[in-house]
Structure formats: structure tokens, C-alpha cells
Structure 1
Amino acid sequence: MPAKKHKPEEIIGNRREVEIVLGQGGTAAEACRRIAVSEQTYYRWRKEYGGLKTDQARRMKELEKENLRLRRAISDLTLDKLILQEAAKGNF
């Protein structure tokens, strides 16, 4: 079964819920069970989303997707350029 993709809004909400449980004296393991994620996932979210608000997290994810798309485009163009350079060497 593939892992569930959480949306930034869900992640921020889950992080807040964990912070509430921790503030009430609960453990991280207990809080993570309550939101149905592993402790490792919670700590990764905490590192990645730090003190972001929902709209900031959403914007960050959009920028990451755009960055990935642009990197792929650059790598494709670089590969095309290298192929053309190799082909041009053989003709001269």
C-alpha cells in the first residue's frame, strides 16, 4: 500500500495537535499515535515546516514543484545540447 500524501494544511494541523498533547504532558509517541503517523514522520514535519503557517507551507510546496519542473527542463536541454555537440564534432 503506498504511503499517504499529506497536504500542507493537514500537516500543520497535525503538528498543532501534537504540540497540544505535548503541552499537556503527553509523550511524542502518544501524540503521534493519535494523529496516526510515525514519530519519524512527525520529526521530519517539524524540521521541514518549523513555524510556518498554512498559506506559507502551501506556497513552499508550490515553489518546490515548480523548481523540480524547471530542473527537469534544464537537464533535458543540457542533454540535447551535449548530443548536438557530439554530432557536430563528427561532421567537421
Structure 2
Amino acid sequence: MKQARFTDEQVIGILKEHENGLKTADVCRKHGISEATFYKYKAKFGGMEVSDARKLKALEDENARLKKLLAETMLDNAILKDVASKKW
């Protein structure tokens, strides 16, 4: 997976610049991003503070960890069912 160019805190700072009155094109030019990227950031982080972004990141990490544990448990369960269904 491609590494992000900006951290979540930096993205929120970029969005704050726009909220403070700078035009979208000026903000994009200053930070070297496209307007599509800007609006993608705005959709994800719009209205957030830095602390909210940190909480979101922590929740996403925990969710990924729990999904991995669930997948491993389901695989173990399927293997046990397969072994138990065979006649010896």
C-alpha cells in the first residue's frame, strides 16, 4: 500500500487553511495537491480536530486487528469441522 504523503494532522491543517478563507486552488497549489485530493481529504476529515483524527486512526487500527483475529478464528473453526466430519 502506498505511504501517505501527509499525516492526518497535516491534512487537517490544510483544511483549516481553506476554512480560514483561502481559495481551494491556492491551498492546493501551496501544498502540491490536486483539487480532487483536496475534496477527498475534505470528505474524510472535514470538521474534525486533530484529537478526533487520532481517535479515528486508533479505531481503524483496532478494527483491522479484530478483523484479522476473526478471520483466523473462523479458519480454525472450519479446519476443526472438516477434521471432525471425516470418518476414521
* TM-score strictly above 0.5: yes
Show CA shifts across 1:8-64 (max 9, x none).
2111111112333xx24x3x2332121122222211110111201110111111110
Using structure 2 for the length normalisation, give the TM-score. 0.83
1:47 equivalent to 2:46? Answer no
Contact map agreement 1:8 1:57 (CA 8 A) in 2? yes
1:91 equivalent to 2:64? Answer no
Using structure 1 for the length normalisation, give the TM-score. 0.80
Question: Could you tell me the percent identity over the aligned residues?
Answer: 33
Kindly report structure 1 stretches of 4+ aligned residues shifted beyond 4 Å: none
Give me the CA root mean square deviation. 1.8
Instruction: List alignment gaps of at least 5 residues for structure 2.
Output: none
Partner secondary structure for residue 37 of structure 1: coil
Which residue of 1 is the match for residue 77 of structure 2? 81
Contact map agreement 1:18 1:32 (CA 8 A) in 2? no
